[in-house]
A and B are shown apart, each in its own frame.
Chain A
Amino acid sequence: METIKNYLEAMFANLPRTPEVIKAKDELWQMMEDKYNELREEGRSENEAVGVVISEFGNLDELAETLGLEKAVEESHELMELEPRRQLTMDEVRDFLHAQMARGTMMGIGVMFCIACPIWVILLGDTILEGIGVLLLLVQVALAVGMFVFASNRHARWKYIYKEPCSIDYATADYVASEKERYNLGLKGQRTMGILLCALCWVPAMLFDTIGLAKLSVMDNIVAVLLLLMVGFGVFFIINSSIVRASFEKILKLNDEKTMSSQFVDAQKGLYENPRLNNLMSVYWPTVTCIYLSYSFLTFNWGSSWLIWPIAGIAHSVIKKNMGSVKQA
């Protein structure tokens, strides 16, 4: 049955996505499904049934004529020759998704290192180890930068997925959609956890204050460290989950929006996004990191500069929600 579905989807993949074509595909699918089921009930083997259904399907040129699609079919042939879409294999897509998961972890850890780097200075600040504290801070920032550079170098391998027109077949689309579904709960959990950690970062301070420990000056430092760690981990979860989610969505919307192949996955609404905004958003997090580091180093106001992260996070989702998706034609 899966073979028949793949066959039909592949036949229709390059046709324009119009109501007539969608209706034709649905109805042809109905007939093929009926025929397949009956052949199976008659006791034919899976392979035999699939063979019969596919051999008796006919050809699309005949259909194109009736649907008034000759021009569209011709154009899609021409387009394929002029601007061939790179067909990604299932293995390639699987590698890409795994690479993106690793990248999410690295970028997340990198940003977390940046946010948490002042803890050494805070902890060792007024002791003879102050120098070591500063050193550790610099080492940690260097590590973070190293991770950013490493992650983007490795990411460069996949540049073609972002730059060239690519496409995926039905089976791959189906696989990615089910993977996305499988990770969905985990990603949502991470995101919620991240937001909670950022939102509740002031709780230790309040608790310490209530139980009267705030009088000890060392407690101030511990509160600050806890706060930075909570924000750091929170941001890690948010970044990691959004990179992984974005990689699923990137693959699912590779196919040309105007053709039937964009229908491989149900519930595609909102997946196709404003390309201009996407370009803008690709520099969003690096810019925020830049602002954070320069502001913090210039003013040494580490106590409040971390606030940029939760604010940037909320601003990010607001921008995406409001301007992200283009209206479907």
Chain B
Amino acid sequence: MVEISSDVIRGYNDTMILYILRKAPSYGYEISKQIKQLSDGKYVIKETTLYSAFTRMEKNGYIESFTAAPEADGGGKRRTYYRITGNGQQYYKEKCEEWNLTKEVVEHFITAEE
């Protein structure tokens, strides 16, 4: 079975995370679970990759972190949550455009022929 090479996907981890955070603030495991689900289990993000992305994007001002306990399981453990910022929204849109262009370009060179 073909697996995604981490070099290729690296540039788009941020995009995936921002896509999820656009809907609602979330925390580490929840985000990694959603990435797995939305990709039909074809991509599992590593914990270190995810945390690196958080740190980098927070430094660049695309996301903000805060500590909270989830309301769902009452008195649940406190976790670090992330929310998207205005800059993050902007960055997400740019990344989408970039991907569309990338896809378009690379598509020209992809064939199903043996």
Interchain CB contact (< 8 A) of A58 among B27, B30, B49, B56: B49
Q: In the assembled complex, which residues on chain A have CB atoms less than 8 Å from the CB atom of B47?
A: 28, 31-32, 35, 56-58
List B44-80 residues whose CB lies under 8 Å from chain A.
44, 46-52, 54-56, 77, 79-80
Q: In the assembled complex, which residues on chain B have CB atoms less than 8 Å from the CB atom of A34?
A: 28-30
Interchain CB contact (< 8 A) of B51 among A35, A56, A63: A63
CA distance A67 to B28 in the complex (A): 17
Whether A62 contacts B80 by the Cβ 8 Å rule is no
Q: In the assembled complex, which residues on chain B have CB atoms less than 8 Å from the CB atom of A66?
A: 51-52, 55-56
Any B CB within 8 A of the CB of A24: yes
Whether A27 contacts B51 by the Cβ 8 Å rule is yes
Q: How does the 8 Å CB contact mask read for A20-40 relative to B, with 1 for contact and 0 for none?
A: 000010011011101100100
Say what secondary structure dominates the interface of chain B.
helix
A30-B27, A34-B28 known; A63+B79 contact, CB < 8 A:
no
Whether B55 contacts A30 by the Cβ 8 Å rule is no
Whether A57 contacts B46 by the Cβ 8 Å rule is yes
Q: Chain B: how many interface residues by the 8 Å CB criterion?
A: 20
Any B CB within 8 A of the CB of A179: no
CA distance A58 to B54 in the complex (A): 15
CA distance A34 to B32 in the complex (A): 11
Interchain CB contact (< 8 A) of B32 among A24, A31, A63: A31
Any B CB within 8 A of the CB of A60: yes
Q: In the assembled complex, which residues on chain A have CB atoms less than 8 Å from the CB atom of B29?
A: 30-31, 34-35, 38
CA distance A22 to B12 in the complex (A): 27
With both chains docked as a complex, state the minimum distance between the C-beta of B83 and any C-beta of chain A, in angstroms.
16
Interface centre among B27, B44, B47, B54 (most CB of A within 10 A): B47
Any B CB within 8 A of the CB of A322: no
Q: In the assembled complex, which residues on chain B have CB atoms less than 8 Å from the CB atom of A153?
A: none
Whether A67 contacts B55 by the Cβ 8 Å rule is yes
Q: In the assembled complex, which residues on chain A have CB atoms less than 8 Å from the CB atom of B52?
A: 62-63, 65-66
A30-B79, A56-B44, A67-B55 known; A62+B49 contact, CB < 8 A:
yes
With both chains docked as a complex, state the minimum distance between the C-beta of A24 and any C-beta of chain B, in angstroms.
6
Q: In the assembled complex, which residues on chain B have CB atoms less than 8 Å from the CB atom of A58?
A: 46-49
Any B CB within 8 A of the CB of A59: yes
Interchain CB contact (< 8 A) of A30 among B46, B48, B49, B80: B80
With both chains docked as a complex, state the minimum distance between the C-beta of B67 and any C-beta of chain A, in angstroms.
11
CA distance A28 to B50 in the complex (A): 9
With both chains docked as a complex, state the minimum distance between the C-beta of B22 and any C-beta of chain A, in angstroms.
21
With both chains docked as a complex, state the minimum distance between the C-beta of A94 and any C-beta of chain B, in angstroms.
33
A interface residues with partner B (beta carbon < 8 Å)? 24, 27-28, 30-32, 34-35, 38, 56-60, 62-63, 65-67
Return 17 A-B CB contacts under 8 Å, by A number: A24-B51, A28-B48, A30-B27, A30-B28, A31-B47, A31-B51, A32-B47, A35-B47, A38-B29, A38-B33, A58-B48, A58-B49, A59-B48, A62-B48, A62-B52, A65-B52, A66-B56
